[in-house]
Amino acid sequence: MGHKKLHLPSKICPVCGLSFAWRKKWERYWDDVKYCSEKCRRNKNNVHD
């Protein structure tokens, strides 16, 4: 039997426009996470329309 993933919360990255899911490393500050990656965080001035 494999591990079944639960329905994880997700957000849309304002830079690339892609959806990204909750990760264990973001557990304590999920409400503050805005970007899907460090690359998008660094490029936050190039917001996707």
pLDDT by residue (tens digit) across 10-36? 999 999 999 999 999 999 999 999 999
Cα torsion 24, 25, 30, 36 to 10°: value is -100
DSSP symbol at 42: H
pLDDT given for residue 45 in this prediction: 87
User: What's the pTM value of the predicted model, to 2 decimals?
Assistant: 0.76
Residue 18, domain member (yes or no)? yes
pLDDT given for residue 7 in this prediction: 86
pLDDT given for residue 1 in this prediction: 54
- The parent domain of residue 36 ranges over 10-42
Residue 4, domain member (yes or no)? no
Q: How many CA atoms lie within 13 A of 36 on its CB side?
A: 14
Residue 23, domain member (yes or no)? yes
Neighbours of 48 (CB within 10 A): 12
Position of tokens 């639960």?
A: 6
Residue 28, domain member (yes or no)? yes
Q: Are 41 and 7 in contact (CB under 8 A)?
A: no
Res. 47 pLDDT band, cuts 50 70 90:
confident
- Give me the number of domains the chain comprises: 1
